[in-house]
Amino acid sequence: MGQKVVGTGARAGAPVVCVIGGGQLARMMQEAAIALGIELRALVEADDGSAAQAIRYSEVGSADDRDAIVAFTAGQPVTVEHEHIPSPILREIGSRPSADALIFAQDKLIMRSQLDAPHPRWHRAESRAEIDAAIAQLGGTAVAKTPRGGYDGKGVAIISSATDIPWTYTDGDQILLEEKVPFDREVSQLVARRPSGEIQAWPLVTSVQRDGICFEVTAPAPVPRALHEKAEAIARRIAEQTGVVGVLAVEMFAVGEDLVVNELAMRPHNTGHWTIEGAVTSQFEQHLRAVLDLPLGDTAPLAPWSVMVNLLGSELDDPREALGAVWEADPGVKIHMYGKEVRPERKIGHVTVTGDDLEQVRARARAAIAILEGR
Amino acid sequence: MGQKVVGTGARAGAPVVCVIGGGQLARMMQEAAIALGIELRALVEADDGSAAQAIRYSEVGSADDRDAIVAFTAGQPVTVEHEHIPSPILREIGSRPSADALIFAQDKLIMRSQLDAPHPRWHRAESRAEIDAAIAQLGGTAVAKTPRGGYDGKGVAIISSATDIPWTYTDGDQILLEEKVPFDREVSQLVARRPSGEIQAWPLVTSVQRDGICFEVTAPAPVPRALHEKAEAIARRIAEQTGVVGVLAVEMFAVGEDLVVNELAMRPHNTGHWTIEGAVTSQFEQHLRAVLDLPLGDTAPLAPWSVMVNLLGSELDDPREALGAVWEADPGVKIHMYGKEVRPERKIGHVTVTGDDLEQVRARARAAIAILEGR
């Protein structure tokens, strides 16, 4: 497409928030930033990518290029799209969340060994022999995880022996081995924390994965009140311990009345997309408020039930061609498209439906996704 | 601020909608466009203006520059921010709404003489003598309106004589003279129509003006059911008669059980801003759906009451500095800032509050605006 000489749209005086590694989260954050008169700036991978399409003040640069990041952020408040930014750079630019907080989301071994929260049984191993010993201690089967860099099911495998590891493993590499938790359901607790200490929690949600990728989220979680309270207490404690600034997502396994932490994310999270329509304050607006140390917003749900379903790839060349078909069937479905090309199992959009009847709401969201998937 | 050589963020395949005369409406439409994966393009007055700050694909050009508009729109679907675009240009680019529809919003004499709707008593005058004769017929006082170009109270005056007209009047100029309607309240009915004919209506709202400018909107209008039905029927008939595409706002005076049309707008309208938080489908999303001839969205309200209050200027240099103060007092207020510099009585933002208790909701919205106004 055409290249033009144009400005950044910047105007002196606007509150500024920079995002490193802009993708669909920065794109959705921009909707909130526009409303609030905040100037969002994104350091993006591609000039026509998901964030860059939507953010006037975009610049191409790598999320590990120290010089590019320092020049781009220029002392302004800065947050991150993902966890894969080196700590020294985060420290230099004073990122929110900080390098010291983000390390808990970046490194699963640090999370397991240092986080004050209920964990599954786990072992650290550094050789094939230690891996097999750990598997034996965990009952013959274990979940192996690379401490860093995994996401959406990548870098995670269920193994019965060191030889089962599906990625290149070299003795000396650290690896995390966890019990395979016999969970009843997966839940996610989102909270936000601002530098001055205020923490606000959204209702607990349940999530359903498909091939290790979040597929469907139900808010609030249809579980007993006690589990909601337990989850919120765990997430608040983690927020305080880590000193996170912005949104914190604590993904947990529910086993009976117990919860154990599975993963952390310190940014708006897939299990919080329902808040765009489903809560007074969306996770994207809340993240901006937290990063700017402004009072946090009301997290109350707006409807009895919200269900979000991800669009993971599609049989269609461009699912946006199916907007009309979705709305022909159901004019009340809220559709979010990320401006990404279709690839198998890639998160390219989501839908949210809110309403009074959970089964109906879920059926409507699934039916919309089926149309967008071209099934 | 810095000028950079960057692209437009455009990517082949996205549905495109162009807006001529981009301002705060295009800015708010962009929030909806981002969600839907629609590429909004705006022809703007200034490269750092309200729309340009938020829309990557912005280009500076005048709303009456035929060559610039034809080149910019390039055959893509195109809509308008305001009514002040010459008909021949609208016709050439095939605007939605069309030139033939927009003429009813552009020219108040055409609206009064040709629109099939209840009107106040009115006269057309072309000289001081005719003006004074019309005033006598209307009972000694009349509302004088320039047929074209007025907005936000400009080009409107209450007069008792031709000599009272506060703008330069030359014999031969056409002028509209209307009775001063002794209204109980002002109401506004928004509907949207798509080319294939479908029309959807939001609930009727009441509006309160301050010095001729919309100040406060309450949704739904706290008036008898019969008035809601009457208003919707009037607006649907106007939508059908004019063949409007997109959002149509019909501002009316309610006098007892009667309604008379005051003004029309054929675009998202100030009295519809409450729909961003208050309705399943916002007027901005609906306008995009209509322009692209996609099925229209559910217009049901999300809360029993929504109140929107405009920010008309401020004592503060930049009201965005007061975001924290507003939220300190009330974390659930939804704030919209348009990225505009403060000028007296200029629309620079608005707030919306939703809830169950109308008096409380209204008080919260007014309190938030008082803080943003620096009072």
Express each pLDDT in B180-230 by its tens digit. Answer: 999 999 999 999 999 999 999 999 999 999 888 889 999 999 999 999 999
Residue-level pLDDT at A2: 36
Residue B266 has pLDDT above 60, yes or no: yes
Are the beta carbons of A10 and B27 separated by less than 8 Å? no
User: Residues near A241 by Cβ (< 8 Å), separated by ≥ 6?
Assistant: A115, A116
Residues 198-237 of B with CB under 8 A from A: none
Among chain A residues, the shortest Cα distance to B293 is held by A324
A222 and A206 Cβ atoms separated by less than 8 Å: yes
Nearest to A336 among B35, B47, B289 (CB): B35
Q: Which residue shows structure tokens 């923490």? A: A199
Residue-level pLDDT at A6: 56
Q: Averaged over B19-25, what is the pLDDT?
A: 96
A28 and A40 Cβ atoms separated by less than 8 Å: no
Mark residue B339 as left, alpha or beta (left: phi above 0; alpha: psi -120 to 50; beta: remaining): left
Residue A304 contacts B, CB cutoff 8 Å: no
B88 CB burial (10 A radius; 0-12, 13-18, 19+): exposed
Residue A298 gets which letter from DSSP?
Answer: P
Beta bridge partners of B79: B19
Residue-level pLDDT at B154: 80
Q: How far is B265 from chain A (nearest CA, A)?
A: 23
Containing B131, the helix (H) or strand (E) segment is helix B128-137
Q: Residue A230: count other Cβ atoms within 10 Å of its Cβ.
A: 21
A58 and A9 Cβ atoms separated by less than 8 Å: no
Token pair for A311: 């669009």
Are the beta carbons of A56 and B59 separated by less than 8 Å? no
Residue A305 contacts B, CB cutoff 8 Å: no
CA distance A42 to A63: 11
A127-157 confidence digits (pLDDT tens): 999 999 999 999 999 999 999 987 777 789 9
Q: How far is A367 from chain B (nearest CA, A)?
A: 17
Three-state secondary-structure class, residue A25: helix
Domains of chain B, CATH where assigned: 16-95 (3.40.50.20), 121-178 (3.30.1490.20), 185-372 (3.30.470.20)
State the distance between the two ends of chain A, measured CA to CA, in whole angstroms.
Answer: 31
Q: Averaged over A25-43, what is the pLDDT?
A: 98
Token pair for B65: 């520059």
Where is pLDDT greater, at B275 or B6? B275
CA distance B267 to B275: 14
**Mean per-residue pLDDT over chain A, rounded:** 95
Residue-level pLDDT at A73: 96
Assign 3-class secondary structure to B215-273: EEEEECCCCCHHHHHHHHHHHHHHHHHHCCCEEEEEEEEEECCEEEEEEEECCCCHHHC
Q: Which residue shows structure tokens 């008939």? A: B237
Among chain A residues, the shortest Cα distance to B31 is held by A31
Q: Averaged over B102-121, what is the pLDDT?
A: 97
CA distance A321 to A112: 45
Q: How far is B105 from chain A (nearest CA, A)?
A: 28
Nearest to B47 among A9, A13, A297 (CB): A9
Q: Report residue A92: phi and psi, to 5°.
A: -65, -40
Residue B343 gets which letter from DSSP?
Answer: -
Residues 324-343 of B with CB under 8 A from A: 324, 327-328, 331-332, 334-339
Residue A342 has pLDDT above 80, yes or no: yes
Task: State what percent of residues in chain B have pLDDT above 90.
Answer: 93
pLDDT band (50, 70, 90) for residue A3: very low
Could you tell me whether strands B78-80 and A205-210 are parallel, antiparallel, or unpaired per DSSP bridges? unpaired
Token pair for B230: 């009457």
User: Residues near A332 by Cβ (< 8 Å), separated by ≥ 6?
Assistant: A353, A364, B280, B281, B297, B298, B300
Q: Averaged over B319-332, what is the pLDDT?
A: 97
Among chain B residues, the shortest Cα distance to A198 is held by B328
Are the beta carbons of B8 and A12 separated by less than 8 Å? no
Collect all residues of chain B within an 8 Å Cβ-Cβ radius of residue A323: 15, 36, 294
ipTM score assigned to the predicted complex = 0.95
* Most confident among A6-10, B150-154, B233-237, B343-347 (mean pLDDT): B233-237
Residue-level pLDDT at B6: 57
Q: How far is CA B206 from the centre of its chain?
A: 14
A160-184 confidence digits (pLDDT tens): 999 999 999 999 999 999 999 999 9
Q: Which has the minimum average pLDDT: A236-245, B116-125, B150-159, B203-212?
A: B150-159
Three-state secondary-structure class, residue A96: coil
A:B CB pairs within 8 Å: 194
Q: Averaged over A69-96, what is the pLDDT?
A: 97
Q: How far is A349 from chain B (nearest CA, A)?
A: 9
Nearest CA to A164 out of A198, A131, A207 is that of A131
Residue A29 contacts B, CB cutoff 8 Å: no
Nearest to B58 among A9, A53, A280 (CB): A9
Task: State what percent of residues in chain A have pLDDT above 90.
Answer: 93
Are the beta carbons of B8 and A7 separated by less than 8 Å? no
Residue B152 has pLDDT above 90, yes or no: no
Instruction: Measure the CA dihedral B7/B13/B15/B21, to 10°.
Output: 20
Residue A368 gets which letter from DSSP?
Answer: H
Residue B43 has pLDDT above 90, yes or no: yes
Q: How far is B137 from chain A (nearest CA, A)?
A: 48
Are the beta carbons of A3 and B4 separated by less than 8 Å? no
Residues 269-288 of A with CB under 8 A from B: 276, 280-281
Nearest CA to B302 out of B286, B281, B280, B283 is that of B280
Are the beta carbons of A56 and B58 separated by less than 8 Å? yes
State which amino acid sits at residue A52: A
A5-15 confidence digits (pLDDT tens): 457 778 778 99
B160 and B152 Cβ atoms separated by less than 8 Å: no
User: Residues near A231 by Cβ (< 8 Å), separated by ≥ 6?
Assistant: A187, A189, A204, A250, A252, A259
CA distance B375 to B368: 10
Collect all residues of chain A within an 8 Å Cβ-Cβ radius of residue B302: 302-303
